[in-house]
Amino acid sequence: MKHVILTGIALIALGGCTAVNVEPGTAASAEGQVRPVARPGALDTQTRIVAAPPPVSARTEEQFDTTTAEERAAAAAVPAAPAEKRLGVTIASLGDPTDPGFWAETPLVSTLTQGRLEYPGSGKSVQVELRPISGPAGAGSRVSLPAFRVLEAPLTALPELVVYSGG
């Protein structure tokens, strides 16, 4: 009897699983809707780099960082126009390494915007997408793996970064 009940529960649980065939260049949402996605390495409408997600088997820093040398060089370029605004200083930790591209989640912005991070420890800077997170301005920020690498900041430390918007 116990086997019959367990088999019934397993069949009910598996009944909710469905396979969705998705064409290349699209993604299925949790609701099963198919939506187009940007090509890896392509520029989106705001001219920021959309890097490919890392492979499921990624285990090393190089495997998680799917940006190219050219993309890292473009992100490291300091904006020509001094239209930046210094937002403040933040203590940074490594963000989700499976989230590709150049970004920083920070309480120093209230809306998604383009910006730049500067690491005084190396003298390097990187252009990033600034993503708002809740918390006080001094709460700290999470930074993408590719941005950490361009900044030459130690991945296991909590470096102090200067955050700029605009540019």
Cα gap 98→1, rounded to integer Å: 45
pLDDT at 34: 47
Cα gap 63→58, rounded to integer Å: 5
**CB of 54 closer than 8 Å to CB of 64:** yes
Cα gap 121→11, rounded to integer Å: 57
pLDDT digits (tens, 9 = 90+) for 12-54: 444 444 444 444 444 444 455 444 444 444 444 344 556 778 8
In terms of Cα–Cα distance, which of 133, 129, 131 is closest to 114?
129
**CB of 130 closer than 8 Å to CB of 108:** yes
pLDDT digits (tens, 9 = 90+) for 62-115: 888 888 888 888 888 776 656 889 999 999 999 999 999 999 999 999 999 999
Q: Does domain 43-165 have CATH number 2.40.40.10?
A: yes
Domain range list for the chain: 2-37, 43-165
